[in-house]
Amino acid sequence: MNTVNIKTLLNGPSMAIVSVYLKSDGASGELDSYTLIDPALLGMRPKERLSLDYIAYNFAGFDACVEFASGLTTPTFKWVISEGTNHPIDFRPFGRLLDDSGMDGTGQLQITTTGFTSSIDQGSMIIQVRKV
């Protein structure tokens, strides 16, 4: 089974910071719409939404795509995170990346990987979100 360790570093009234460690076992395959941050677990009220502020990451051997879970009908904005760049992603200058999952979405921040198939594939992320 792939390893996915998620730890909440800060869960304040308006902001949360989460660390994520991913390690492939070489057999289980890709992560597909795997939830990294669930608003319900952060104690958010139903009308509150997340906005993505910042992602620092380092991936070895795979790429990924993050998005808010949209349900069946509402497409959401996706952000591709490439192994080769490893530059922090700062959405704050653009007003943050607001959860646009719509009425049918869960508001969860999810990851889908590509190339996460070798036992040496691993990565780390620090994710900062706002509660709005």
Q: For the whole model, what pTM was predicted?
A: 0.93
* Residue 121 CB neighbour total at 10 angstroms: 20
**Tokens standing for 104?**
């049918």
Where do the structural domains in the chain lie, given as residue ranges?
A: 3-131
CATH class of 3-131: mainly beta
Model pLDDT for residues 23-62, shown as the tens digit of each residue: 999 999 999 999 999 999 999 988 889 999 999 999 999 9
Question: How far, in Å, CA of 7 to CA of 17, rounded?
Answer: 9
Per the CB < 8 A criterion, the answer to whether 24 and 117 are in contact is yes
pLDDT at 73 over 80: no
